[in-house]
């Protein structure tokens, strides 16, 4: 396996063309190939591109954040959340270590709180407009650490 560090600008939109995220207002994002720093469906399609190339890349939900799992929508009695109360959009970590997930409150009724443990981008096909700004070999230190260093990479 050859390890390379690829830097790129991206604009991420959903099916409706709504911009979900973009690197354009900051420095390009840098990742090391084979390090699982970005979603697999994007890495597969980006790894063969050369510096300076620009491409529209579609990543289906299954190769991005996975399909939505309706079993991750759970309801809890409201009084479990105590006096301070709970609001739509609040986030909680639940579960054991590796299995831990972030649950987001999606509904609050008089008696119940509904939480969703799906990633906010689960079930969505993602559309990336990508511009490769740099491609270089990874340093031995980066290979040891398992991530890219330098501009747009991991800061220690």
Kindly list the residues in this chain that would bind Zn ion in the complex (CB under 5 A).
145, 154
> Which residue has tokens 């970005």?
38
- Measured from the CB atom, the residue of 123 and 150 that comes closer to Zn ion is 150
Q: Please report how close the Cβ of residue 102 comes to Zn ion at its closest, in angstroms.
A: 25
CA distance 104 to 121: 13
Torsion of CA 13, 61, 88, 16, to 10 degrees: 30
DSSP structure class, residue 117: -
Q: Please report how close the Cβ of residue 147 comes to Zn ion at its closest, in angstroms.
A: 6
Structure tokens, 43:
């890495």
Q: Please report how close the Cβ of residue 145 comes to Zn ion at its closest, in angstroms.
A: 3
- Measured from the CB atom, the residue of 101 and 154 that comes closer to Zn ion is 154
- Measured from the CB atom, the residue of 121 and 138 that comes closer to Zn ion is 138
What does the chain come to in residues?
156
Q: Please report how close the Cβ of residue 32 comes to Zn ion at its closest, in angstroms.
A: 10
Torsion of CA 41, 130, 23, 13, to 10 degrees: -70
Q: Please report how close the Cβ of residue 123 comes to Zn ion at its closest, in angstroms.
A: 33
Q: What are phi and psi of 43, to 5 degrees?
A: -60, -45
- Measured from the CB atom, the residue of 132 and 148 that comes closer to Zn ion is 148
- Measured from the CB atom, the residue of 135 and 148 that comes closer to Zn ion is 148
Measured at CB, which residue is nearest to Zn ion?
145
Q: Which of 40, 46, 33, 35 is nearest to 63 (CA)?
A: 40
């Amino acid at each position: 396996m050859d390890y390379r560090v690829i830097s790129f600008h991206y604009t991420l939109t959903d099916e409706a063309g709504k911009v979900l995220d973009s690197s354009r207002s900051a420095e390009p994002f840098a990742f090391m190939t084979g390090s699982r720093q970005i979603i697999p469906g994007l890495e597969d399609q980006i790894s063969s591109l050369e510096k300076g190339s620009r491409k529209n890349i579609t990543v289906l939900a299954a190769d991005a954040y996975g399909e939505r799992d309706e079993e991750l929508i759970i309801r809890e009695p409201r009084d479990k959340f105590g006096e301070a109360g709970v609001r739509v959009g609040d986030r909680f970590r639940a579960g054991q270590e590796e299995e831990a997930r972030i649950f987001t409150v999606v509904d609050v009724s008089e008696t119940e709180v509904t939480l969703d443990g799906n990633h906010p981008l689960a079930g969505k096909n993602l559309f990336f407009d990508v511009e490769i700004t740099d491609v270089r070999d990874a340093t031995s230190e980066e290979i040891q650490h398992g991530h890219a260093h330098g501009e747009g990479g991991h800061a220690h």
